[in-house]
């Protein structure tokens, strides 16, 4: 059994790996060999990756695929997707092809504001606190001018600052709520720097104010941006006449009616909604990762938005109106095209090049379309042939690799399962039939 280690972060990479192997690997040399197998032979590139995070041991690969033929606002895109799940890229590509001759996808930006809060304790009179805030607000904003100078030159900056009384939810709880426009930057560091300056200035001014008494116990608890961004919204949509939807032995009216019902179920039943929205995020997260953005922040904000009405439900919507099918999504996406890994990671830079080096607004639209396409593909399968037929076909190669199939066996299996149902058991049985 291993014992705690002191000063681990100060060890060299090789020392960290040796310690890990000796304490946690069943076969230390085999474990080290796997870690080293994923090192990049370009030492400069490997150093770049090593410096992205702390205590780096090796690189963790995800496949980077491409989904072509996406028509978005009459512009053709090939969308890069970094994801490990089988059938996601294929589903997105199929949806893109399906809508290509039906007008493609339309997307628009509804709003782009982000926000953050200085969280406060205050147990005095709320009116005095509000009066104090109104007095010092100009000073708080002025103290941030050096931080915001470059952002303001580009047209962004602090949009608003207000004091919010949250004592109905939590005794003594107030917050300074600030909204920001960060343009092409995701803006986390910018927002947090502004918030921390607000906090510092607020406490300084409070110490010299007759309105804030010692017994009020004014205290800054924390200053941090929010990943819930319901004022940073993008919309993506598709539509076409019902007669263009006929498929799988169903008329366009039949298919659309069943499809709309499937969305309504996801809007009503939380157990379905979670899986429904997970499929949407298959598409969005894959593009978020490929472009070096923060998929954890996006996920957290998106799922909070799905609960904005007090009930977790579908992020997508569908309807039939005047013999036309309409399918759309409105979703919060706080992402960036500058800062972070966007200019550091060589593959991220290449993915941006594939997309035509979009700004943040254009990238928001691309991501929303990827999510809508993924959801359309999933619901199309679910309401017609079922999802497993296509998914397991794509999953076949993973099963064959787990079973250590030879190239010849893989070729034979792919041919066999063109006409047969894929399952792990069926793959085992087929390989056993080939092997002596």
Among this protein's residues, is 294 annotated catalytic? yes
Q: How far apart are CA 393 and CA 72, in angstroms?
A: 29
Q: How far apart are CA 366 and CA 377, in angstroms?
A: 16
Return the structure tokens found at 434. 């080939």
Q: Which of 85, 299, 330, 409 is catalytic?
A: 85
Burial classification of residue 149, based on how many CB atoms lie within 10 Å of its CB (0-12 exposed, 13-18 middle, 19 or more buried): exposed
Q: Which of 177, 278, 416, 424 is catalytic?
A: 278
Positive or negative torsion for Cα 122, 125, 131, 135: negative
Q: Which of 181, 196, 205, 294 is catalytic?
A: 294
Which strands form 219-225's sheet, in the order they lie side by side? 157-165, 173-181, 114-121, 219-225
Please list, residue by residue across 212-240, b when 16 or more beta carbons sit within 10 angstroms of its beta carbon and e when fewer do.
beeebebebeebebbbbbeebbbbbbbbb
Nearest-10 Cα torsion for 395, 401, 405, 406:
110
Contact 201, 96 (CB under 8 A): no
Return the structure tokens found at 326. 């309409």
Please list, residue by residue across 30-69, b when 16 or more beta carbons sit within 10 angstroms of its beta carbon and e when fewer do.
ebbeebeeebeeeeeebeebbeeeeeebbeeeeebbebeb
Q: Which uninterrupted H or E stretch holds 329?
A: strand 324-332
Backbone angles phi, psi at 321, to 5 degrees: -145, 125
Which whole-number Å values give the CA distances from 383 to 60, 100, 329, in the listed order? 36, 21, 19
Among this protein's residues, is 97 annotated catalytic? no
Contact 120, 171 (CB under 8 A): no
Which whole-number Å values give the CA distances from 317 to 113, 247, 292, in the listed order? 23, 21, 29
Residues labelled catalytic: 85, 278, 294, 391
């Amino acid at each position: 059994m291993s014992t705690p280690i002191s000063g681990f972060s100060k060890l060299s990479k090789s020392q960290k790996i040796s310690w890990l192997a000796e304490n946690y690997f069943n076969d230390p040399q085999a474990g080290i060999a796997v870690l080293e197998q994923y090192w990049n032979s370009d030492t400069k590139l490997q150093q770049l990756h090593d410096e992205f995070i702390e205590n780096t041991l090796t690189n963790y690969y995800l496949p980077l695929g491409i989904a072509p033929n996406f028509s978005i606002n009459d512009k053709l895109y090939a969308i890069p997707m970094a994801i490990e799940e089988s059938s996601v890229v294929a589903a997105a590509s199929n949806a893109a092809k399906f809508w290509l001759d039906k007008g493609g996808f339309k997307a628009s930006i509804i709003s782009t504001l982000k926000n953050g809060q200085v969280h406060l304790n205050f147990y005095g009179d709320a009116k005095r606190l509000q009066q104090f805030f109104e007095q010092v607000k100009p000073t708080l904003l002025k103290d941030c001018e050096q931080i915001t100078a470059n952002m303001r030159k580009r047209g962004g900056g602090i949009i608003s600052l207000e004091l919010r009384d949250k004592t109905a939810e939590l005794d003594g709880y107030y917050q300074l709520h600030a909204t920001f426009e960060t343009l092409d930057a995701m803006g986390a560091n910018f927002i947090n720097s502004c918030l921390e300056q607000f906090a510092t200035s607020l406490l300084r001014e409070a110490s010299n104010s007759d309105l804030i008494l010692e017994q009020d116990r004014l205290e800054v608890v924390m200053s941090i941006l929010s990943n819930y961004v319901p004022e940073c919204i993008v919309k993506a949509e598709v539509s076409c006449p019902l007669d263009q939807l006929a498929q799988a032995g169903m008329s366009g009216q039949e298919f659309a009616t069943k499809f709309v019902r499937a969305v309504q179920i996801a809007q009503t039943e939380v157990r379905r909604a979670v899986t429904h929205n997970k499929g949407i995020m298959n598409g969005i997260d894959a593009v978020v990762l490929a472009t070096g953005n923060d998929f954890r922040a996006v996920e957290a904000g998106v799922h909070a938005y799905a609960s904005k009405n007090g009930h977790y439900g579908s992020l997508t919507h569908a309807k039939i109106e005047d013999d036309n099918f309409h399918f759309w999504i409105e979703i919060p996406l706080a992402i960036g095209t500058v800062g972070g890994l966007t200019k550091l990671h060589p593959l991220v830079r290449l993915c941006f090049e594939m997309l035509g080096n979009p700004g943040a607004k254009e990238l928001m639209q691309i991501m929303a379309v990827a999510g809508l396409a993924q959801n359309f593909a999933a619901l199309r399968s679910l309401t017609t042939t079922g999802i497993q037929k296509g998914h397991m076909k794509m999953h076949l190669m993973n099963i064959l690799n787990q079973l250590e199939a030879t190239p010849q066996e893989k070729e034979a299996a792919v041919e066999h399962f063109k006409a047969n149902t894929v399952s792990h058991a069926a793959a085992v049985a087929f390989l056993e039939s080939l092997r002596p």
